[in-house]
Amino acid sequence: MSEARILFGFHAVLSRMRQHGSSIQEIIIDQDRVDARMRDLLEMAKSQNIRVIQAERHRLDGFIGAHGRHQGVIARVIETPMPYKDIHDVLESDLDEPPFFLILDGVQDPHNLGACLRVADAMGVHAIIAPKDRSVGLNGTVRKVASGAAETVPFISVTNLARTIRELKEAGVYIVGTTMDAPGSLHNTKLEGPIALVMGAEGDGMRRLTQETCDALITIPMFGSVQSLNVSVASGIALYEIRRQRVLAGGKA
């Protein structure tokens, strides 16, 4: 069933117009914002016959509350189902390369999830998998930070993450988890074929049960004084290495 949602911020709204403009019911803009960025958005909306409503800024503030900065633009959209609803949809689809997943074990910061969606889209990840409990979902802030990637990368919420990982392993997917004290290194680990990269939550990292279900644990080498990385930054580094090895092995660039 389709579901109405709110998108806010220029990146999120413009990306939705480019990718699926017909899903936008209407756009509400700050009546006092008349800069070039707003004019470009209005021109695109007009070209797609999307209704635009002008409103006072405090009305836009009321739509999103304390969830984030709307930049003077909000869109009401009808969500359409993603092509993949669970991992089996991905595994059984006609992919042009081995399956490639990012698993987020308990990421709760919407800015981190939004950034993870962006790097996952950039590196060609087929789906992000996360537990339903103790994890942030696809709220308005996530979609804004994702800059359109929330509409291109399937986000699969699962009830039991450990069981889902075991199902992936049974399907031939290699599960690689990242921890600070892992015996293996990102630089010297073979990361080819069907693979799922597991990243832990902010601060606490992966849960013990999640670690125990991984095929291998690796660390991202650090060469400076900082001892840890933001989960989205770490995801970007590790996903890029996986993509780099796929390209060298003859996969898609």
- Binding site for S-adenosyl-L-methionine: residue ranges? 200, 220, 229
**What are the residue ranges of helices labelled H in 48-86?**
57-64
- Give the residue numbers of the binding site: 200, 220, 229
- Give the end-to-end CA distance of the chain in Å, rounded to a whole number: 36
Are 98 and 194 within 8 A, CB to CB?
A: yes
Tokens of 49: 């016959």
Dist. CA 31–CA 196, nearest whole Å: 46
Contact yes or no for 119/239 (Cβ under 8 A): yes
Burial of 170 (0-12, 13-18, 19+ CB in 10 A): exposed
* Cα 99 to the center of its chain, rounded Å: 16
**Rounded to an integer, what distance in angstroms lies between the CA atom of residue 61 and that of residue 65?**
6
